[in-house]
Amino acid sequence: IPADPRDVSVEELLEICDGFLLTGGAPNVHPEEYGEEPTEAHGAFDRCRDKVTLPLVRACVERGQPFLGVCRGFQEVNVAMGGTLWPEIRELPGRMNHRMPPNGTIDEKFAIRHKVAFTEGGVFEALIGAREVMTNTLHGQGIKEPGPRVVIDGEAGDGTPEAIYIKDAPGFALAVQWHPEYNAAADPVSRPLFEAFGAAAAAWSQGRRPAPLLKAV
């Protein structure tokens, strides 16, 4: 999908797509989108993508159209729903460095690096079938304040939010800070996540509401 409002409109996307995977990306959400001034720590931006994805997330939540946010997509979901971001997690007291290694192979950069603990009895525990999992980590920014309807359902060991869903959303509205798309077919954490997202998109394409995943909480 072109991440540029000059090439595509949110309305067009909603009509032709059954679900949306909000991918990662090097540029960050511009801090003006959550009421802050840009600094050097905020890094590069992609204002065109902001103008597509942020209203798209809000529209999907309203309509119940499925989406899954990944890394930057995770951060976009929070900002779209009224939340804010830290520009650099590793500079916060007690936090680990969540960025990928600067050197190494793709496998080394996407290697499993830390634990994520889900809320007991929550959406992600029910979906993945485990209370704690191991994930990769390749991000600099992270959630500062969650939006009013953003539920933090999983955290890294240092307290960094890693899994969220939208409270009372009528459809599949989940996001994760790690990269589940890497080795998705074989990874026991990634596979059920994508299977659930795929099922929700298939249900939408057939004119049915997705399974009531978010009613697990």
Catalytic positions: 71, 179, 181
Q: Quick count: other Cβ atoms within 10 Å of Cβ 28?
A: 24
Distance (Å, rounded) from C-alpha 154 to C-alpha 47? 29
3-state secondary structure of 45: strand
- Residue 106 CB neighbours (<10 A): 9
Q: Who's near 211: CB < 8 A, 6+ residues apart?
A: 196, 199, 200, 203
Distance (Å, whole) CA 34 – CA 186: 37
* Alpha carbon distance 37, 169 (integer Å): 30
Of 183, 112, 124, 181, nearest to 153 by C-alpha is: 124
Backbone angles phi, psi at 87, to 5 degrees: -75, -30
Q: How buried is residue 126: exposed, middle or buried, by Cβ count under 10 Å (0-12/13-18/19+)?
A: middle
CB 2 within 8 A of CB 46: no
